[in-house]
Structure 1
Amino acid sequence: MKLIAVDMDGTLLNHWKEISEENIQAIKKAQSMGIEVVIATGRAYFDAKKICEKAGLNLHIISDNGALIHTKDGEQISSITMEKKDVQRIITELEEQNFYYEIFAERGIYSTYNRKNALEEEAKDCTDNLKFEMIQTAIAIQFGQNGHKLLENNEAILDAEEKFYSVFALTFDEERLRDGMKHFAQMEHLSMISSANNNFELANKLTSKGNALEKLSRMLNISLDHTVAIGDSYNDISMFEKANLSVAMGNAHNDIKALCDTVTLTNDENGVAYIVNQIINKDILHQIQFSNISLA
């Protein structure tokens, strides 16, 4: 294998949102053997980059669910944007339906104080202790993203002279989520992506991890026949379909596991390191066998 694409949340990151030392060493070992390792995440580029830097990793990054591609040198080689009028319509209607939302843009991840308050109200109204903890965790994750900015109103977001990549919607109300997804599915010129059972994201129709993986592989002159994709959720399906080998995390949904060629350990069990080391060892074995055949 010549390229390994790795999702972040639920895959490379453990539940503390950190990259374990085992995963770091496995990635560095793969790189030392000439294998390109690529982050493929729904996170914003500057957020993913910061996490990688903290772990001492220098990787190509597919971010914003495929809207952006950056080389490990930080060069932006692909950008797929949304029309401002679409962003305006989406956030207006999300506000009417009382969703929390974020706009992923060129210089930040934007939301409003009003939407933050709406999400916190969901937590206050929750009587289920387990669900309450889930909401509190989600709030901490969303507001802890690098580049996250709260503004006074929608106009402050839309007046910014920058590129828009996607709109992320979050709610823990199952009926609201279902109705919202049904409503926005009517915007057929956009794609709808989900990374968990409490959210969806709207982006340009061409935006997907799979399309970005294909584009980056072509730029690196690597055939998709020599690629691996590792992930845990629905927004990873497009790259599972493009890669030669698809790997589901042990913590992935059963329907995601069923789509993949193999399943590794969970994200808290260093599942990325486990499968990367398996791939490396098989490649080494293949090289030894090929060398022996050639010498004979």
Structure 2
Amino acid sequence: MYKLICIDLDGTLLDTRQRVSTKNREAIRKALDQGIEVAIVSGRPNCFTIRIMNQISGRMGHITFNGAYYRIANKTRQFPIPKEAVMKVAKLAQKYHVRTYFKNKNLSLCTKSDPGILDYDQFKSQTPLKDQMDMLYNVDVVDVLSNQDINILKIFAWDENLENVRKMREELKEIEGINLYLYDENFEMSSEDTSKGKAIQNVCADLGIQLDEVVCIGDNYNDLSMFEVAGLSVAMENAPRKIKEMVDKVTLTNDESGVAYAIENFVLKENE
């Protein structure tokens, strides 16, 4: 019997217009009504995931910042990046003048101005006070973090000067204590103790759930760590072919309410 469903957000629960379908909402509520825990699992911060959860059910949980924070069934934990590593990143951001965001649950310190790419202020009116994120720009992060004890859960960087981004990335590879995720035009990092999969393992330990009682639904390579620990791994039809070859089941696309199809056919029917 399955007791926990973990659902990725972008490309999975959300359709291509960033909406949650009626079918997905109804299927999640059915699972919750049957006593199954359901959690959003995302690299996004609380202020974003809470907004989505409020559209579905207050009974849902979430794992955010790629596993650096979670709150499920009144169990809460967070895994900050080591302070020494954060300071090294802050100094490199200063050295190369790269726009870098240092984030925790309630705060984002940005080394430059933000052109609206990560403007979480737009979600404040839809977010409880305890999960609101304050965005501070043009911050001397080295100075702030030298004088204040602030836990950083995730660091994200991008900049118009791609050459400086590349130079900074090369030096980041020498820093210990972090998981570094490199993309063509940006990068992000978290504590080496975090991943979606590790967070799910910790949640299961907290809730007394066995890993073979967990269903994970996702669409991309950053979901592999949770697929690896799941009792049942489910990829969206819109996932890359290699991902679909690595999972137990494939559901419909995110524009076809693939999450609802997976819950109805792979979870609720199995639990009958």
TM-score range (shorter-chain normalised) is 0.7 to 0.9
Distance 1:273 1:95 in 2: 46
The structure 1 residue matched to 2:156, chosen from 158, 168, 186, is: 168
Task: Quote the residue 2:253 is aligned against.
Answer: 266
What RMSD over aligned residues (CA atoms) do the two structures have, in Å?
2.7
Distance 2:81 2:173 in 1: 16
Q: Give ranges in structure 2 of 5+ residues lacking alignment.
A: 124-132
Q: Give ranges in structure 1 of 5+ residues lacking alignment.
A: 121-138, 288-296
Identify the range of structure 1 (210-219 vs 242-251) with the bigger mean alpha-carbon deviation: 242-251
The structure 2 residue matched to 1:192, chosen from 162, 172, 180, is: 180
- Other structure's SS at 2:245 match: helix
Task: Quote the residue 2:137 is aligned against.
Answer: 151
Structure 1 length normalisation: TM-score? Answer: 0.76
1:223 aligns with 2:199: no
Deviation at 1:115, TM superposition (A): 4.8
Task: Quote the residue 2:78 is aligned against.
Answer: 79
1:16 aligns with 2:35: no
The structure-2 alpha-carbon separation of the partners of 1:254 and 1:188, relative to structure 1 and needing over 3 Å to count, comes to farther
Deviation at 1:171, TM superposition (A): 5.3
Kept in 2: contact 1:106–1:162 (CA 8 A) = no
Identify the range of structure 1 (164-173 vs 246-255) with the bigger mean alpha-carbon deviation: 164-173
Kept in 2: contact 1:102–1:168 (CA 8 A) = yes
The structure-2 alpha-carbon separation of the partners of 1:231 and 1:173, relative to structure 1 and needing over 3 Å to count, comes to farther
Kept in 1: contact 2:62–2:72 (CA 8 A) = yes
Distance 2:185 2:231 in 1: 30
Kept in 1: contact 2:12–2:219 (CA 8 A) = yes
- Identity over aligned pairs, percent: 32
C-alpha distance after superposition, 1:110-159 (max 9, x if no partner):
324x252xxx5xxxxxxxxxxxxxxxxxx54x224642513232237535
User: Which of the two has higher C-alpha Rg?
Assistant: 1
- Other structure's SS at 2:153 match: strand
C-alpha distance after superposition, 1:162-212 (max 9, x if no partner):
311121123588776666544422224311236x65443212111111111
The structure-2 alpha-carbon separation of the partners of 1:148 and 1:47, relative to structure 1 and needing over 3 Å to count, comes to farther
Structure 2 length normalisation: TM-score? Answer: 0.82
Deviation at 1:90, TM superposition (A): 1.0
The structure-2 alpha-carbon separation of the partners of 1:84 and 1:15, relative to structure 1 and needing over 3 Å to count, comes to same
C-alpha distance after superposition, 1:202-243 (max 9, x if no partner):
121111111110111122111101111111222211111111
Deviation at 1:66, TM superposition (A): 0.8
- Other structure's SS at 1:70 match: strand
Within a 5 Å distance, the mapping from 1:268-283 to structure 2 comes to: 268-283=255-270
Kept in 2: contact 1:106–1:163 (CA 8 A) = no
Kept in 1: contact 2:46–2:105 (CA 8 A) = no
Question: For this pair of structures, how many residues does the alignment match?
Answer: 259
